[in-house]
Structure 1
Amino acid sequence: MPLIPIDWLGTHVELPADLTPQQLAASLVRVGLEEEAIHPAEVTGPVVVGRVLTRQAKEQSNGKVINYCRVDVGVHNDSPGTGKEPSELPSRGIICGAHNFDAGDYVVVSLPGAVLPGGFEISARKTYGHISDGMICSARELGIGEDHAGIIVLAKADDAAAIAALPEPGSDALPLLGVAGETLEINITPDRGYCFSMRGVAREYHHATGAVFTDPGLAENLPTPLPAATPDGFPVVVEDDAPIRGRHGCDRFVTRVVRGVDPQAQSPKWMRDRLTQAGMRPISLIVDATNYVMLDLGQPLHAYDLDKVVGPLVVRRARDGEHLVTLDDVDRTLDPEDLLITDCSGGHGARVLGLAGTMGGADTEITSATTNVLIEAAHFDAVSVARTARRHKLPSEASKRFEREVDPLVAPVAAQAVVDLLVQYGGGVAGTEVTDYCEITLPEATEFPLSEVERLTGLRVESERIVEILTDIGCGVAAGASQGVVTVTPPSWRPDLVASAHFVEEVARIIGYDNIDSLLPQAPAGRGLTTRQRQRRDIMRTLAEQGWVQSLSYPFISTASLDKQGISADDTRRLAIRLKNPLQEEAPYMRTSLLDSLLDTARLNVSRGNPVVAVCEDGVVTHPLGLAQAEQPGVGERPSDAQIAALLEAIPRQPHHIAGVACGPVTEERAGLQAIVWDWRDAIEAVKTAARTIGVELAVSADERAPWHPGRCGKLTLSGDANSDAVIGWAGELAPAVCKAFDLPARSIAFELDADALCAARGSTEVQVEPVFTNPVAKEDIALVVDEGVTAAELEATIRDAAGEYLEDLRLFDVYTGEQVPDGKKSLAFALRLRADHTLSAEETARVRKRVIKQAAKRFNAELRA
């Protein structure tokens, strides 16, 4: 993230003379920027201006010549006759191995206590027969250059003008060298790309403090007039025949030409200092000029060796099999989605010069022999650049800016700024040919009701103040179609401002979030959980009371889980949605049943030696049946209402299910007690009890469905009709093959319910609690002989209907076939508990019994077993 040199920032906005990085950070944070870090100075302690008084060259035994110098360091001098190595001169004695200076020259001296880059601490030490009480520094030792052959000479002894411009010996030398002290680093969020420049940060400081701001991105603030495009400009052809999501990769391309640049010309010291403070390494005048303008204005630029480029430049997408050696000497295989800059060496658009907005190629790079320069300042699509940078793992300084959007209007200004620098410091001649391919689309005007500020923030702001703020951030503001509404046109550098809420946010941040009062909302407090949420919690609590432990399993599965459950190929549960970017390649599908993942949870617990496993889960499953494909909208504008509606229709249904898996003993064997093991009846009863918690009675009928045992699987429905389509779920014993596949004990049980369907059957009305009667209960046992095909659930439903309001509880306690029961028949014995608000008489009990027998005989030809 960008480093902010304060002196550079001060060229665009008025800053206090004593502004610290901490104060700058506080001001920028106030308007929404983020402080990443404040980096300590690499050079600390006394680094001062010194004047060499004497220089004695002494040849050593190894042939090396060392200079012993007495250096005047002003207030840091040792008095005559004092110090670690006394002298009659007020000075300090320092050993130096360089030879590019003489007595009388002004140099840079680091005194004991100073710390140089790399943590190198300066101290007085004995060397070459003398005590060196400090160090005369080179550029490399101070971290401001690569020169280590000689020390830094601030002024020669005979250069009176240079000496006059220097402070007295002993003064702090760091400001003269451009060595940064503490430096602020800020974090740039994706919507604030314009702050990837000194221009943008200076603007934000102006918003925070009201300091006077001069926009360097405006043509009128350039030192030379901005020329118009000319017919003879360097030819550029844009041929983007594969735009990403409807957005063309390049909508502006400016070129300028500078000839006769001195290849030996160095960047001015102030430029090198600023680049270093901003975290970039100075390279050469041409490269430094493009980097400097990019950091200053936020517009990435690229310089080509004009003599190596064969026009026209062609902007196009890559072709299969193309390669490019980028400036970092990496041979990259290109993707057809990559946007390229090419030239016509070898044919139209045949040679690839660079990845647009990301990095240039080696063929036309600037070298130490380059004299004629072609400057590119373009505007590339943010999505295209971002995808290319990520694909090639190439997060360059250019791509960081383009993927956050760059001001499309600043390109010609940035190109002119580079031209001016090369002419002024490189002796070049600006070419008159100017190219400006421009197909940009500026932000559209938006109707903005001024009342939205108070509605969304609670701030009462005068209309004039709102208009003033919007104008100050660069928006165009005009009267709207009605009273209290204005038409706002965002500035070119703020493509993120597209809706009223964005303008409200701008007003709030400029006024200051700390000025928004903390008030309790006037709206009534919420009512907590929804009815269905409460119902699902009631069900899960009931299961927990029966010994089931709630778990949370991984919602993504593999087809292996479906195979192990024995789910057939034509089962709709196999129509699972596959994720494009799964967290694990082994589990790329969204589950269609909770058992898909819950069985693995049970397996894991069994494998870890847990003796009793009874896990349940309340979660969502995904059913993609009957969905229509929706076209993915582009990223250049807000989707229309029709597109949003189509997207919502394409979202798969995700109902809540509740499932459980149990195995092992319910209670372990103990002295005098046998172990009690889970069986299929426990699964069914757990489900019926849980449903009864929310006031829903479930009926059970035999069924066959994977992964359950064909003969021990119960289908759960909402009514006593075994043929009802209102299926809530299934419960029973898992098939032996499934137990084996998941490494579970034999006769493990499982259930799964559609919780949404179950809760919908209950509705939102409150459960009516049955009154508690203190009158005695009347008990009746009835054994009915029916055909073997009649299920207990069907007969139970008939008995409930016939028994009427006196029935308190009904329980099947015996199923018998054998003697006294004809072949093809079975006996089902039920225990009835009857109670009323009065003591039931024998006649009332007999009438209930008679109704039950009569109704069972009518429907199932049932006979009372003697």
Structure 2
Amino acid sequence: MKAPVSWLAEYVDLPAEITPRGLADALVRIGMEVEGVESGADALSGPIVVGRVLSFVDESQKNGKTIRWCQVDVGVHNADGEPRGIVCGAHNFAPDDLVVVSLPGAVLPGGFAISARKTYGHVSDGMICSVRELGIGEDHDGILVLPAASAQPGDDPLPLLGLTDAVLDVAVTTDRGYTMSIRGLAREAAAALGVPFRDVTLPLPAPDGGAYDVHVDETDVCRRFSARAVTGLDPAAPSPDWMVTRLRQCGIRSISLAVDVTNYVMLETGQPLHAFDRDRLSGPVGVRRAEAGERLTTLDDVVRTLAAEDVVVTDESGPIALAGVMGGASTEIGATSSAVVLEAATWIPEVVARTVRRHRLPSEAARRFERGVDPEIAGTALERCVRLLVAHGGATPVDGYTVVGEVAPPARIAMDAHRPERTAGMPIPRDAVVSHLDAVGCTVTDDGDVLQVQPPSWRPDLLVPADLVEEVVRLAGYDRLPSVLPAAPAGRGLTGRQRLHRAVSRAAAAAGYTEVLAYPFVAPSVHDAFGLAGDDPRRSAVRLANPLSDDEPELRTSLLPGLLGVVARNLGRGTRDLAVFETGLVFLPRPAGEPPTLPGIAARPSDAEIAALDAVLPDQPRHVAAVLTGNAQPRGWWGPERAADWADAVEFARVVARAARVELGVRATEHAPWHPGRCAELVLDDVTIGHAGELHPRVVAALGLPERTCAVELDLDALAEPGPPAAPEISGYPPVLLDVALVVGDDVAAAALRDTIREAAGPLLESVRPFAVYTDAERLGAGLRSVTFALRFRAPDRTLTVEEATAARDAAVTAAVERHGARLR
């Protein structure tokens, strides 16, 4: 919300010594977010003056363009008393018109410096400016003509154009919709500075239904619908300059008097209004739900297909406006409109917000309705519109005032008078509590130690005592709150599960991986990109009713979509060697059941209510996943680079397992989205807890990733919390080192051979490690390979003999022959 300080000053007595920056600081101190203090003059410098066009000559050029050689009186800035000669390409001015002239030495927005230069056969001693060249609008069809008698040649035009008026740029949070108006911001300024506030007050006619016939079918979404009407409006009447200036300062362009008035009053009061051409209305105006498939052409000339959830304003011809969002083209105010019906309604915020999202149609009106509009300001806003149209458009008010619907006042709140100071941790006297509540518009009744507080109609966010405490504390001053470091309770620390998660993250980071956080939202199309089967449970994702993005409406069932998106973004920014990981929750829906009734906020939910809510929530196990692409080892003096491959993904899983002090089993499998021949199943106690390997080429191509991209994902919740680490047994006796090479079929996994050797060799075997694989069809036979293992034998109580070690090795070889058909090479 942009608010000119001069407009705020009409509703609050600003101290004479306060600066715009000081006003902004005061608002920040009470919790407002002021993003900046702007002035149109900031981008202008040098001599910019008012000039009067004395005469001009139209001259045709060889390129077909006609320029004007103008003589312009710029007062004291005339050269040796003579008017300035200026070349101008526009033709929308006449002799004696007042214009804005940038003289040599001036600098316009965008760093555009003005100098005397020869053009079209003349030396142009300056430039006559358009509104776009001055940075106050987008119109570049002609130059800016000032009102007659508004200034004299040589005067400074910036005050006349409102360019010296400071404008506050305030970021309005969703709970403070009332500050999307001059009225609301002025009230905040008054509270911040401790000065009086003057509200918008006008006498209103009694509602009699005579303005226009209105009926509301959807009273649950339109709480009140008010209407006034005028006739005899001069369609050609211009908007007053002061109104156009203020609209421009607030970021709204001028359209026509009727439209400008509704926008001006919306900015002033916070109540969005809409003007219908009365002559283009057919019968009574109504409010109802749209019929699925109905069409409405909105004011932006887009034909929109309506849904049954939409709420529309109608007449006998059908929908004429999308409720709370935008009007329809069929009843638009045009160049001949002289009879106008003005509408001010109160819509349920949720309905407007969903309509905006559904049609992707944000508007200034919708932004206010989404945050809540004061239902009691509608009559004042309509009366203000009528008076402005009468004063500046020659309109005549139509007798009658239509109001349909009632709005219940906010509920009274009981609050302990001492609660704000207990919450803030600093003294806040009872009188100050009452004063601060009164400053925000509340009516306070003193009832001993308990204050009975009636919130104002424009504060729908004040619902419980905690909301009132926030109002008192922010006006008392957040900057006055004491900083007290809370004492940590003794005897507590991280839980075993938290220690496990931290150990895994640290181990992954120590292994060279970078931790990232991805959004938990995914697009349904990712399941197809991953090549998941139609019955794959990962396709059954939880769909959000109100997603942040319509393109990603589902909660993730795997960490990989988000991680691969991170990789793609980094690749697009020039990074080629990536190793990233994430730990986070995935969301696995439970079988659909009857949704429980949501408990109220008056008391803590019962254990049964909490259990019923938990029963319909999705399972949320914590996973860890990693993605690798590019080189795992760069090129250097130690040798050539080494590309990351499936073995690195498996090693990441082992890093996680070591952090949890468990040992994973690894066996070949097929599982989307991995390559069927390069996918490992990660097993713990004969239970699959994850997969690792190289992604399928089709998945890589669909996501635009480099070839041979590798990934791993496993279930962290499947890993038990590790107990205290056990100290290893250390033998002081030397080991016996033996190697054994076994020839097996290609379908026998090295991990299976290793497990057999470890089991059959007995307790003397300290470690077994595969270190070489050899294939040669001529020497070994087709479909065979040789896997060589390094065996380390050691006895804890004696020096082991070679014979003992050899016997243990032979036992292991015998078991491999029996179980896997191996032969000793």
Report the TM-score when normalising by structure 2.
Answer: 0.69
Alignment partner of 1:253 out of 218, 222, 225: 225
Kindly tell me: are residues 715 and 295 of structure 1, through their superposed partners in 2, closer, same or farther at Cα, counting changes over 3 Å?
Answer: closer
Q: 1:587 to 1:402 in 2, by over 3 A?
A: closer
Identify the residue that residue 238 of structure 1 maps to in structure 2: 216
1:490 matches 2:455: yes
**Is 1:651–2:612 an aligned residue pair?**
no
Task: Tell me how far 1:179 sits from its aligned partner.
Answer: 5.0
Amino acid at match of 2:460: P
CA contact (8 A) 2:765 2:792 kept: no
One-letter code aligned to 1:458: G
Alpha carbons of structure 1 residues 637 and 264: separation in structure 2 relative to 1, 3 Å:
farther
Partner-residue secondary structure (3-state), 1:296? helix
Deviations 1:717-769 (A, max 9, x none): 55xxxxx8xx47479999xx9899999xxxx9999764323324x4xx53343
**For 1:504, which of 469, 476, 482 is the aligned residue?**
469
Cα–Cα, structure 1 residues 708 and 797, in superposed 2: closer, same or farther, change >3 Å?
Answer: farther
The equivalent residue for 2:159 is 175
CA distance in 2, matches of 1:137, 1:291: 27
In structure 1, what is the equivalent of residue 727 of structure 2? 769
1:95–1:135 Cα contact (<8 Å) kept: no
Describe the SS at the equivalent of 1:477. Answer: strand
Retained in 2: the 8 A contact 1:701–1:791?
A: no
2:174 is equivalent to residue 209 of structure 1? no
Q: Which residue of 1 aligns with 2:181?
A: 197
* Structure 1 equivalent of residue 638 of structure 2: none
Distance 1:360 1:571, change over 3 A: closer
Equivalent residue, structure 1, for 2:33: 33
Partner residue in 1 for 2:637: none
Where in structure 2 are the equivalents of 1:405-804 lying within 5 Å?
Answer: 405-479=372-446, 484-523=449-488, 530-536=495-501, 538=503, 558-559=526-527, 590-591=556-557, 619-620=583-584, 622=586, 624=588, 626-629=590-593, 631=595, 641=605, 646-657=612-623, 727=687, 729=689, 754-760=715-721, 762=722, 765-769=723-727
Q: For the residues of structure 2 that align with 1:702 and 1:177, how far apart are their CA atoms?
A: 77
Counterparts of 2:796 and 2:230, CA distance in 1? 105
Match of 1:409, SS state, is helix
Task: Please give the residue correspondences for 1:96-175 in structure 2 after superposition, counting only pairs within 5 Å.
Answer: 101=96, 110=101, 112=103, 115=106, 152-154=147-149, 172=156, 174-175=158-159
Aligned to 2:270: 298
Q: Map Cα deviations across residues 553-587 of structure 1 (whole Å, 9 max, x no partner).
A: 98869446876xxx987776665556786989799
Contiguous gaps of at least 5 residues in structure 2: 61-65, 635-641, 702-708, 739-751, 771-790, 809-825
1:104-159 deviation per Cα after TM superposition (whole angstroms, max 9, x unaligned): xxx6775735859777766678999999977899999976999869764317xxxx
Q: Structure 1 residue 709: deviation in Å?
A: 10
Q: 1:573 to 1:132 in 2, by over 3 A?
A: closer
8 Å Cα contact 1:5-1:180 kept in structure 2: no
Alignment counterpart, residue 362 of structure 1, candidates 329, 332, 350 = 329
Shift of 1:410: 0.5
Q: CA deviation at 1:690?
A: 6.9
Contact 1:109 1:137 in 2 (8 A): yes
Q: 1:151 to 1:335 in 2, by over 3 A?
A: same
8 A contact 2:4–2:168 mirrored in 1: yes
Which residue of structure 2 lines up, in the alignment, with residue 288 of structure 1? 260
Q: Is the 8 A contact 2:276 2:340 kept in 1?
A: yes
Aligned match of 1:279: 251
Partners of 2:698 and 2:287 lie apart in 1 by: 62
SS, match of residue 174 in structure 2: coil
1:187 to 171, 179, 182: 171
CA distance in 2 between partners of 1:414 and 1:24 (Å): 27
> How many angstroms apart in 2 are the aligned matches of 1:368 and 1:283?
11
Indicate the residue corresponding to 2:350 in structure 1. 383
Q: 1:442 to 1:44 in 2, by over 3 A?
A: farther
Unaligned runs of 5+ residues in structure 1 are 78-82, 87-91, 156-165, 242-247, 345-349, 669-675, 719-723, 782-789, 814-829, 850-866
Q: Distance in 2 between matches of 1:562 and 1:250?
A: 46
Give how far 1:591 is off: 3.8
Opposite residue 287 of structure 2, the aligned amino acid is V
Aligned residue in 2 for 1:671 = none
In structure 2, the CA distance between the partners of 1:500 and 1:739, relative to structure 1 (3 Å rule), is same
Report if aligned partners of 1:140, 1:148 keep a CA contact under 8 Å in 2: no
Q: Does the residue aligned with 1:448 lie in a helix, a strand or coil?
A: strand
1:647 shift after superposition: 4.7
Q: CA deviation at 1:535?
A: 2.9
Contact 2:424 2:473 in 1 (8 A): yes
Q: SS of the counterpart of 2:267?
A: helix
Structure 2 CA distance for partners of 1:410 and 1:811, relative to 1, 3 Å? same
Whole-Å separation in 2 of the counterparts to 1:61 and 1:667:
73
Could you tell me which residue of structure 2 aligns to residue 398 of structure 1? 365
Distance 1:793 1:154, change over 3 A: same
- In structure 2, the CA distance between the partners of 1:308 and 1:616, relative to structure 1 (3 Å rule), is closer
Q: Does the 8 Å contact 2:129/2:143 carry over to 1?
A: no
Other-structure match for 1:821: none
Name the structure 2 match of 1:23: 22
1:410 aligned counterpart, secondary structure: helix
Contact 1:108-1:154 at 8 Å conserved across structures: no
Q: CA RMSD in A?
A: 6.4
CA contact (8 A) 2:730 2:796 kept: no
1:35 is matched by which residue type in structure 2? E
Higher Rg of the two aligned structures = 1
Query: Are the structure 2 counterparts of residues 457 and 648 from structure 1 closer, same or farther at C-alpha, using a change threshold of 3 Å?
Result: farther
Code of the residue aligned with 1:154 in structure 2: it is: A
Structure 2 CA distance for partners of 1:114 and 1:308, relative to 1, 3 Å = farther
Which string of whole-angstrom CA distances, capped at 9 and with x for unpartnered residues, describes residues 409-432 of structure 1? 110111111122233344433333
Offset from partner CA, 1:627-669 (integer Å, 9 cap, x none): 555749999999994777655443322323467899999999x
**CA-to-aligned-CA distance 1:296-346 (integer Å, 9 cap, x gap):** 1111111222233233211112223322233333333333332211112xx
- The alpha-carbon distance between structure 1 residues 684 and 276, as it changes in their structure 2 partners (threshold 3 A), is closer
The range that moved more, 621-630 or 632-641, is: 632-641
SS in 2 for 1:154: coil
Counterpart CA distance in 2 for 1:149 and 1:777 is 97
Partner of 1:351: 318
Q: Output the TM-score relative to the length of structure 1.
A: 0.67
CA distance in structure 2 between the partners assigned to 1:797 and 1:23 by the alignment: 79
Q: Does the 8 Å contact 1:258/1:419 carry over to 2?
A: yes
Indicate conservation of the 8 Å contact 1:194/1:298, yes or no. yes
Query: Relative to 1, partners in 2 of residues 1:519 and 1:232: Cα closer, same or farther, differing over 3 Å?
Result: same
Distance 1:108 1:661 in 2: 64
Give the Cα–Cα distance (whole angstroms) in 2 for the partners of residues 739 and 66 of structure 1: 70
Deviates more, 1:170-179 or 1:411-420: 170-179
| CA displacement 1:498-557 (0-9 Å, x = unmatched) | 344433332332223222233433335997754324335546777899x89688798869
Moved more, 658-667 or 529-538: 658-667
1:831-850 equivalences in 2 (<5 Å)? 835=796
Give, in whole Å, the separation in 1 of the partners of 2:70 and 2:530.
84
| Alignment-mate amino acid for residue 330 of structure 2 | D
How far, CA to CA, are the matches of 1:326 and 1:749 in structure 2?
Answer: 50
